[in-house]
Amino acid sequence: MPIYEYHCNKCDKDFEELVLGSNPVVTCPECKSQDVAKKMSTCAFKAGANFVGTGKKASAGCGSCSSTNCSTCGG
């Protein structure tokens, strides 16, 4: 599932949004602003960093997820 993290530039809220389509309109759930910045998925980012750091594919999930299969973040 393509879930991305967003950061609202208006109220500084971080939130996750399930993104369907290539150019979705994402609205902050807190202040309804569309002035949001997409962040790389935390899970994908950490997995990628781990991949680079250890030279082997990460398989133990990611630090930000409580689960190990990353089913909630698509990683």
Question: Does 28 sit near Zn ion (CB under 5 A)?
Answer: yes
Using CB under 5 A as the binding rule, whether residue 10 contacts Zn ion is answered as: yes
Q: Where are the beta strands (DSSP E) in the chain?
A: 3-8, 14-18, 36-39
Q: Is 11 in the site for Zn ion (CB under 5 A)?
A: yes
* In the complex, least distance from residue 6 CB atom to Zn ion, rounded to whole angstroms: 9
User: What's the rounded Cα separation, in Å, for the pair 73 and 34?
Assistant: 22
33 near Zn ion, judged by CB under 5 A: yes
Nearer CB in complex with Zn ion: 34/71: 34
| Whether the Cβ atoms of residue 47 and residue 58 lie closer than 8 Å to each other | yes
- Token pair 């990611």: residue: 62
CB of 31 to Zn ion, least distance (A): 3
